[in-house]
């Protein structure tokens, strides 16, 4: 087994959690003398081979937690079935949960406001902006959708999205447009074409559109400036479906019940392909352990009781490099649905985000005035990638977010 960073170091107890099929939260405290491996997998520790279930290399304690008047039994046979020190936490599909006051605050009204309705309703009588979603993923498509709505509003135009991407089918308030109209599709095919000049900065030439002409606008539009002035309406426009919100609510409600009077701080740790040498050569960076230590200390000093809820693509790296203090970190295995994962993070109180658009939107979707900390050096200075951003990434990062 290869080791690097903090691997092989006993970093003390940490918690993982799962919601079982009865909707009950099981919390497990692990103490790992070395990286937690999948159960029934053997690993050599100091010359002695142990089975790495919860009995030898991993000493674990299942905590009985009273949730909605139901006592969770201690399960002494519980094994971790993932090669990471975290387990999947998700909502059973057959479970319904009554929203309490804390979770209602994260939901919008049952019907869109008039301001939202005017933004998401396309008037085919106006000149039109067409946009085909890129091959990107959820965070990319959220930027594309929000920015096109913002540009359409600013230029007094209608909009048309010929494809759903990873987003439109998951929205509570999908855009009102006649996508079956052959006439609208034909207008898109004959529309003028315009591309953004930069990847992650505001490009005002996209708003310089010839009067009365339809346009195809291309690319990622990764700047909040495109929808500045209508941010609250955009938050409502990108509200996920009731089913998605309900699944995330189960997780958040159980955590809040298990850890009452605790401030939840979401952490999204984007690594995956960005940690590969090929992308790092272009200027992509990932967050080092020091960033998590500094940003978590920032929140620990401001709240008497805090629980860090960690989601990311590399759970093993996170568990070995994001260190708890007084058992204040819980690792969630990514859900099969990116929308549910993003919704879970957006229902925490505050946010630590590293790099990538997924974490950006999870932070943006948190209601109210959350504190959001982000990795200051998220691209390599002087790289080709860094030239795509405005100075200090001011067109990309929200002004009230804190760089560390």
238-281 tens-digit pLDDT: 999 999 999 999 999 999 999 999 999 999 997 765 556 655 56
Last residue of a domain, one of 207, 237, 267: 237
Tell me if 92 sits within 8 A of 340, measured CB to CB.
no
Q: What is the mean pLDDT of residues 129-155?
A: 96
- For residues 256 and 337, membership in a common domain is answered with yes
- For residues 58 and 172, membership in a common domain is answered with no
Q: Which residues make beta-bridge pairs with 200? A: 389
Q: Express each pLDDT in 204-246 by its tens digit.
A: 999 999 999 999 999 999 999 999 999 999 999 999 999 999 9
Last residue of a domain, one of 189, 214, 237: 237
Reply yes or no on whether the pLDDT at 1 is more than 70: no
**CATH value at residue 314:** 3.40.50.11350
Tell me if 271 sits within 8 A of 286, measured CB to CB.
yes
Whether residue 358 is contained in a domain is answered as yes
Euclidean distance between CA atoms 243 and 238, whole angstroms: 14
CA atoms within 13 A on the CB side of 147: 31
Percent of the chain with pLDDT over 90: 51
Reply yes or no on whether the pLDDT at 11 is more than 60: no
Whether residue 6 is contained in a domain is answered as no
> In the prediction, which pLDDT does 5 show?
37
Lowest mean pLDDT among 70-74, 95-99, 264-268, 368-372: 70-74
Euclidean distance between CA atoms 362 and 241, whole angstroms: 15
> In the prediction, which pLDDT does 12 show?
47
Please choose, from the candidates 18, 89, 19, 14, the residue with its C-alpha nearest in 3D space to the C-alpha of residue 59. 14
Segments forming the whole domain that contains residue 83? 13-105+241-403
Euclidean distance between CA atoms 86 and 14, whole angstroms: 9
> In the prediction, which pLDDT does 100 show?
41
- For residues 86 and 200, membership in a common domain is answered with no
- For residues 249 and 147, membership in a common domain is answered with no
The structural domain count of the chain equals 2
> In the prediction, which pLDDT does 180 show?
75
- For residues 396 and 261, membership in a common domain is answered with yes
> In the prediction, which pLDDT does 166 show?
85
Whether residue 2 is contained in a domain is answered as no
């Amino acid at each position: 087994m290869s080791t690097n960073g903090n691997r092989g170091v006993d970093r003390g107890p940490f918690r993982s959690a799962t919601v079982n099929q009865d909707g009950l939260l099981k919390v497990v405290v692990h103490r790992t003398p070395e990286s937690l491996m999948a159960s029934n997998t053997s690993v050599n520790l100091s010359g002695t081979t142990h089975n790495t279930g919860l009995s030898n290399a991993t000493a674990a304690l299942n905590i009985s937690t009273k949730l909605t008047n139901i006592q969770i039994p201690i399960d002494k046979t519980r094994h971790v079935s993932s090669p990471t020190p975290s387990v999947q936490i998700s909502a059973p599909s057959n479970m319904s949960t009554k929203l309490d006051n804390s979770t209602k605050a994260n939901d919008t009204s049952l019907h869109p406001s008039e301001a939202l309705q005017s933004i998401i309703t396309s008037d085919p009588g106006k000149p039109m902006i067409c946009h085909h979603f890129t091959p990107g993923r959820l965070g990319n498509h959220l930027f594309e959708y929000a920015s096109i709505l913002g540009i359409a509003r600013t230029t007094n135009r209608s909009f048309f999205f010929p494809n759903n991407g990873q987003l439109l089918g998951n929205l509570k308030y999908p855009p009102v447009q006649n996508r079956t109209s052959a006439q609208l599709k034909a207008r898109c095919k004959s529309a003028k074409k315009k591309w953004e000049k930069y990847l992650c900065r505001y490009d005002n030439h996209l708003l310089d559109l010839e009067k009365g002409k339809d346009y195809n606008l291309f690319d990622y539009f990764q700047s909040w400036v495109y929808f500045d002035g209508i941010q609250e309406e955009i938050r409502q426009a990108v509200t996920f479906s009731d089913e998605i919100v309900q699944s995330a609510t189960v997780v958040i409600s159980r955590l809040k019940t298990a850890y009452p009077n605790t401030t939840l701080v979401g952490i999204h740790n984007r690594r995956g392909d960005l940690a590969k040498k090929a992308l790092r050569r272009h200027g992509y960076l990932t967050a080092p352990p020091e960033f998590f230590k500094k940003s978590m200390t920032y929140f620990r000093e401001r709240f008497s009781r805090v629980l860090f809820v960690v989601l990311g693509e590399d759970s093993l790296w996170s568990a070995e490099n994001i260190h708890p203090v007084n058992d204040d970190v819980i690792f969630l295995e990514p859900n099969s649905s990116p929308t549910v994962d993003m919704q879970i993070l957006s229902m925490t109180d505050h946010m630590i985000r590293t790099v990538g658009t997924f974490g950006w939107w999870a932070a943006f979707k948190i209601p109210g005035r959350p504190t959001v900390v982000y990795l200051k050096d998220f691209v390599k200075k002087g790289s080709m990638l860094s030239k795509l951003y405005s100075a200090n990434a001011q067109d990309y990062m929200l002004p009230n977010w804190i760089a560390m």
